[in-house]
Amino acid sequence: SRAYSLVDSSQVSTFLISILLIVYGSFRSLNMDFENQDKEKDNSSAAGSFNGNSTNNSIQTIDSTQALFLPIGASVSLLVMFFFFDSVQVVFTICTAVLATIAFAFLLLPMCQYLTRPCSPQNKISFGCCGRFTAAELLSFSLSVMLVLIWVLTGHWLLMDALAMGLCVAMIAFVRLPSLKVSCLLLSGLLIYDVFWVFFSAYIFNSNVMVKVATQPADNPLDVLSRKLHLGPNVGRDVPRLSLPGKLVFPSSTGSHFSMLGIGDIVMPGLLLCFVLRYDNYKKQANSDTCGAPGPGNISGRMQKVSYFHCTLIGYFVGLLTATVASRIHRAAQPALLYLVPFTLLPLLTMAYLKGDLRRMWSEPFHSKSSSSRFLEV
């Protein structure tokens, strides 16, 4: 009963939603890889091209330098939001709303494709310089714009969560970690970043910088616009201040408090899970090409059947549960990555070592010798 009292319904909702977002985003990412491979095959058969980057322009791969400097850039952004929030809040709100609109449209796209498939062809409609779009893409974008407008008018936490979910899925799907080395650099740096700004920033800035930035509401752009244009005292005055979609929040069963989890605590471990899912699929294809070659002799067959994705996902759940229990015990905000990073990276590194895949996963695991030899022959 003591353990049960440390986790209420809001935490359970956070657990389930964050895990579903990571799983869904990882499989969307894998599906995008399959689609890109099919396009590359079609392009190479039609035009004799072997340039694999032609269909991956929208996908961003993080290298070692970016992984090292990303925590520094995040720290600078956090300080800008802490010191100059009143000056940049409107611009930041508008930029966040635009990004959330695009991300939520991406989240809705599979459902819209399913709905429009029976009644309309998948031909693209031209909009001049704006580009060409299918009916499903137009429908998903229209629904996303409508949701953002309702969120701006009402400021409801459920709509903010929906936009945050879209941001999580889009970031997991469009950002890649190329190797375990880059994954360790990125997550270790972000762990230090999270711990410093949650535990030690108060000693320097007399305030918990991370918590203040995450919980500070912004002025509604409609209210600011009405004041700038002098539209009258009653225009735009009833709209609420907006809590920006940089986190997931769920109310407790009593409504006395909200459980909060930043999208960085979902996206960054989600990128690691996306990487191991791609590696599981790559290894499965490699084993099928080599007629199911057995693994190292000191590893049992049952151990070989355990996927890296399931192992890391279980570690993420245990780390999230540990972070929640720690926050309830200490009655203070906890840096979630302090618990998520060890519980995801350490089991993954241990399993990779035992399976004999650690050296391959550490550096360029998806670059096969066969592809390089084919490039030389061409």
Q: What is the pLDDT of residue 6?
A: 57
Within the chain, residue ranges assigned H as helices are 2-5, 9-47, 64-83, 85-116, 135-154, 157-174, 180-195, 201-205, 209-215, 221-229, 264-289, 301-305, 308-330, 337-355, 358-362, 369-377
Q: Which residues are catalytic?
A: 194, 265
Length of the chain: 378
d(CA 212, CA 256) in angstroms, rounded, equals 19
Q: With left for phi above 0 and alpha for psi between -120 and 50, is residue 240 left, alpha or beta? A: beta
**Residue corresponding to tokens 């997931």:** 248
pTM above 0.75, yes or no: yes
261-298 pLDDT, tens digit per residue, is 889 999 999 999 999 999 999 888 877 766 554 555 44
176-196 pLDDT, tens digit per residue, is 999 999 999 999 999 999 999
Quick one: DSSP state of residue 54? G
d(CA 217, CA 59) in angstroms, rounded, equals 32
Q: What is the pLDDT of residue 265?
A: 93
More confident residue, 213 or 257: 213
108-152 pLDDT, tens digit per residue, is 999 998 888 877 666 777 777 777 888 888 999 999 999 999 999
More confident residue, 281 or 7: 281
DSSP lists the bridge partners of residue 132 as 126
Q: What is the pLDDT of residue 129?
A: 77
Please give the backbone phi and psi of residue 61, each rounded to the nearest 5 degrees, phi first: -105, 130
Mean pLDDT is lowest, of 95-104, 257-266, 281-290, 311-320, for: 281-290
Question: Both tokens of residue 242?
Answer: 């907006």
More confident residue, 229 or 240: 240
Question: Both tokens of residue 202?
Answer: 């108060």
